[in-house]
Amino acid sequence: MARVTPAAPVADVVGGRTAKALRDGLGIETVEDLLRHYPRRYIDPGDLTDLDALATGEHATVLAEVKSVNTRRMQQRKGTITEVVVSDGRGRLTLVFFNQAWRAQRQLQVGRRGLFAGTVSAYGGTRQLAHPRFVLLPADSDLEPDSEAQAAFADLLIPIYPATAGLPSWKIQQAMRLALDAVDAIADPLPADVRAAEGFMSLDEALRQIHRPVDQEAIEAARARLRFDEAFGLQVVLAQRRALLEGQSARPRVATKDGLLAAFDAQRPFPLTGAQERVGVEIAADLETDHPMHRLLQGDVGAGKTLVALRAMLQVVDAGGQAALLAPTEVLAQQHVRTLRAFLGPMAETGLLAGSGPCTRIAFLSGSQGVRERREELLATASGEAGIVVGTHALLEDAVDFAELGLVVVDEQHRFGVEQRAVLGTPDRDGQRPHTLVMTATPIPRTVAMTVFGDLEVSVLDEYPPDRGVIATHVVAPREKPAHLARAWTRVREEVEAGRKVFVVCPRIGDEVDDAPSDAEAPTMSSVLEVADELRDRYLTGLRIGILHGRMASEEKDDAMRRFTADSADEGAIDVLVATTVIEVGVDVPEASTMVILDADRFGISQLHQLRGRIARGGGDGLCLLVTAADVDSPARERLSAVAATTDGFELARVDLQARREGDVLGTAQSGRRSSLRLLEVVRDEDIVERARVAATSLIEHDPTLADHLLLRDQVAALSEDDRSDFLEKG
Ligand code: ADP
Ligand code: MG
């Protein structure tokens, strides 16, 4: 066969039908794509597959032995059904064929072994494969074994590939064999010294061994090499980005002795936690250098990130710069304004109201504010009168002009895209860039942080302010225990009578146009509008009930939050706020003690954790009720039980991670793109990521543009092109 390069279309080595199936089913276009489709596992032709380990719904390929073949006429319909029982010696699996008696009898003789592929289903308690595809191990009596069987069983270890219905594993194996025989030696982009230091085989060897291993050891060696490659590629991209950042400049913002920060610290209502103190020092030092700070501040819900951000902003304002605080929702942005004004008191008064000490104006910009107000705030921003500018993504519009932007704080980073972050990071006329501080409550395992946010320094707030209450969380399942929901509402009433506030969270608003049930049987989800009415009329009569959701106007939202935050004794105060997840991030109402989440199974683990973080923030204890109609042993119920079992955000993140693949963590699942990570599992492979990071950093130090490593340069360029935004820097 003619030689081909890795870039050649896969149709150059396999037939047109197979090429089409590879493309349609697996997205494989080139020979290289094919070679990068790695086996999931391997079977030794001597070892039968453990049939008990098969899960229903799984697309499985098993090696098993035929135990019995039984054909009968069907009762309801015309035709025959053939049931072939195969076994691994212990477990059994039934293969079902319709109207294929001749084939089963001729080919599937008792005692023959073969590979069987199909989707596992359960029928009357037994697991089965309906219409599986199969190849049989050549028997001694086969005078002319078919080539497919010969190819499948020729290898010492049979690779089992992630397959599709149209393309069983052994067909992929066959295609691989053709590709490996035809392809030129594959050039190795990994620098020779790194390869030598790690003791790796060449890329060519690794690809050959992973598909046609000589033994188990070779598989491990090949995997180790290819796993490292994945980590290394990413780390080179990140090392390049760090090098780029180091070349950028920013104005140093040196702390002053008698500015806003000093005045604020002198009158601050509570001492800093140890963690706030430590992180504060790290940030203060970053701000004083002439490179832009790029720091990720990670701290669980309620750890006190806002205060850390405020102190950083004050340092910058003291040094003549402005600070922008970016929030993902308008509700949160409005709250930040209220919080900052409350924290600063007279220091946030300017003009005639200003006292004698240092002060600055806090401006607020949002997409839905009135024209006149917006113009005023824009002016205060452009003139520099406002030291602190708070806003939603509206802050990112071209129309917003800062006098001298010195610091950008992004709250709840996981809600923002990279491009948005980048807009604020652009240099000013003198080529100076603002410092950036990115805050998130999503606990990120160290290696994921290293992979996803590898161009950021990381600070962790791992301590809570002292007066945080304890939150008890319970799952309430009215379908099983109808009285419990009524008890929940009684409890809500008691809390309100004791002067506390209650959130009721619903998965939808209820004013959707296409709300008419298209499927009468689909269970409808609770909605803010309906639930608020129902509570007012029936369950919580006499209590003051407000609503909050994303489609309310800006002033309405602000008004609802104000009234919910107001003292219960005030006229117009709200006791119970029925809301969507707009309150999910950051909302801080100290009197809120209780949260009832309806249809809680509609929310993910981290979302529930965020929601729950809204209560028990003012010293007292909290109660969170997760109301659900999900079945007792459904995965959804397991999620709820996990949330009820702990309030430790890191523990919940671990549970969450176990349930999802890393692709999700890295954002690839959402984007629907193929991840460049096939073998590497970022959490498990911490030491590989670490080694790759060291090697990549040292490489970029010596060869920043990869001029001496052209193959690697191309590979890395493709990688950062492909996966850029939401993969490397999670949006
Ligand atoms: P998050 O990290 O979730 O954004 P916040 O910044 O909203 O948390 O802080 C949670 C609550 O703790 C707020 O009410 C805040 O005023 C309070 N808080 C912050 N720091 C301290 C501290 N050092 N001592 C006491 N309370 C604090
Ligand atoms: Mg916050």
270 Cβ inside 6 Å of ligand 1: yes
Rounded to the nearest 5°, which phi and psi values hold at 295?
-125, 135
CA of 257 relative to ligand 1 center, distance in Å = 25
Q: What is the mean pLDDT of residues 526-536?
A: 94
Please tell me whether residues 359 and 483 are part of one structural domain. Answer: no
Please tell me whether residues 449 and 497 are part of one structural domain. Answer: no
Please tell me whether residues 429 and 482 are part of one structural domain. Answer: no
Which three-class secondary structure state does DSSP give residue 324?
strand
Nearest ligand to residue 413 Cα:
2
Distances (CA, A) of 180 to 32, 159, 200, 361: 10, 14, 20, 68
Please tell me whether residues 456 and 489 are part of one structural domain. Answer: no
b (16+ CB within 10 A) / e for 211-227: bbbeeeebbebbbbbbb
Confidence class for position 669, pLDDT limits 50, 70, 90: very low
pLDDT digits (tens, 9 = 90+) for 13-47: 999 999 999 999 889 999 999 999 999 889 887 77
Please tell me whether residues 349 and 440 are part of one structural domain. Answer: yes
pLDDT digits (tens, 9 = 90+) for 427-453: 777 789 999 998 887 766 666 666 666
Residue 273 CA, closest ligand 1 atom number: 23
Please tell me whether residues 264 and 385 are part of one structural domain. Answer: yes
How many CB atoms are located within 10 Å of the residue 359 CB?
20
**Domain-ending residue, one of 432, 461, 490:** 461
Distances (CA, A) of 626 to 405, 482, 484, 486: 43, 14, 11, 14
Q: What is the share, in percent, of the chain residues with pLDDT greater than 90?
A: 45
Please tell me whether residues 454 and 531 are part of one structural domain. Answer: no
618 Cβ inside 6 Å of ligand 1: no
100 Cβ inside 6 Å of ligand 1: no
**Domain-ending residue, one of 591, 611, 646:** 646
Nearest ligand to residue 265 Cα:
1
The pLDDT score that the predictor gives to residue 728 is 34
Instruction: For residue 663, tell me if it sits in a domain.
Output: no
- Distance CA(645)–CA(387), nearest Å, equals 44
639 Cβ inside 6 Å of ligand 1: no
Answer yes or no: are the C-beta atoms of 612 and 363 closer than 8 Å. no
Q: Which residues contact 171 (CB under 8 A, 6 or more apart)?
A: 18, 21, 148, 163
Instruction: For residue 380, tell me if it sits in a domain.
Output: yes
Q: What is the mean pLDDT of residues 84-93?
A: 89
Q: What is the mean pLDDT of residues 575-601?
A: 89
Rounded to the nearest 5°, which phi and psi values hold at 89?
105, -25
617 Cβ inside 6 Å of ligand 1: yes
609 Cβ inside 6 Å of ligand 1: no
CA angle centred on 585, ends 652 and 651, rounded to 5°? 10
Which residue would you say has higher pLDDT here, 300 or 254?
Answer: 254
Q: Which two tokens stand for residue 715?
A: 């590979």
Q: CATH number of the domain that 410 lies in?
A: 3.40.50.300
Smallest CA separation from ligand 1 atom 23, residue? 272
Please tell me whether residues 444 and 503 are part of one structural domain. Answer: no
Answer yes or no: are the C-beta atoms of 313 and 371 closer than 8 Å. no
Strands 435-440 and 457-461, by their bridges, are: unpaired
Q: What is the mean pLDDT of residues 384-411?
A: 88
Q: What is the mean pLDDT of residues 524-546?
A: 93
Instruction: For residue 708, tell me if it sits in a domain.
Output: no
The pLDDT score that the predictor gives to residue 11 is 95
The pLDDT score that the predictor gives to residue 683 is 66
Instruction: For residue 295, tell me if it sits in a domain.
Output: yes
Range(s) of the domain holding residue 561: 471-646
280 Cβ inside 6 Å of ligand 1: no
Smallest CA separation from ligand 1 atom 25, residue? 465
Instruction: For residue 686, tell me if it sits in a domain.
Output: no
The pLDDT score that the predictor gives to residue 125 is 76
Instruction: For residue 532, tell me if it sits in a domain.
Output: yes
Which residue would you say has higher pLDDT here, 553 or 426?
Answer: 553
pLDDT tops 50 at residue 520: no
Distances (CA, A) of 502 to 498, 540, 590, 622: 11, 12, 11, 10
Confidence class for position 554, pLDDT limits 50, 70, 90: confident
pLDDT digits (tens, 9 = 90+) for 102-121: 887 788 889 888 889 888 88
**DSSP 8-state assignment for residue 414:** G
**Global pTM?**
0.68
Please tell me whether residues 415 and 482 are part of one structural domain. Answer: no
Q: Which two tokens stand for residue 595?
A: 């949260």
Mutation test of ligand 1: which of 272, 278, 307 has the most ligand atoms closer than 8 Å to its C-beta?
Answer: 307
pLDDT digits (tens, 9 = 90+) for 198-223: 999 999 999 999 999 999 999 999 99
Instruction: For residue 423, tell me if it sits in a domain.
Output: yes
Please tell me whether residues 449 and 570 are part of one structural domain. Answer: no
Length of the chain: 731
Residue 305 CA, closest ligand 1 atom number: 2
Helices (H) and strands (E) in the chain, counts: 25, 21
pLDDT digits (tens, 9 = 90+) for 613-668: 889 888 789 999 999 999 888 888 988 999 999 988 878 877 776 665 444 444 43
Instruction: For residue 86, tell me if it sits in a domain.
Output: no
**Domain-ending residue, one of 461, 496, 531:** 461
409 Cβ inside 6 Å of ligand 1: no
476 Cβ inside 6 Å of ligand 1: no
Q: Which residues contact 141 (CB under 8 A, 6 or more apart)?
A: none
Nearest ligand to residue 276 Cα:
1
Please tell me whether residues 537 and 603 are part of one structural domain. Answer: yes
Which residue would you say has higher pLDDT here, 720 or 193?
Answer: 193
- The sign of the torsion formed by the CA atoms of 547, 548, 554, 560 equals positive
Please tell me whether residues 403 and 476 are part of one structural domain. Answer: no
696 Cβ inside 6 Å of ligand 1: no
Total number of domains in the chain: 2
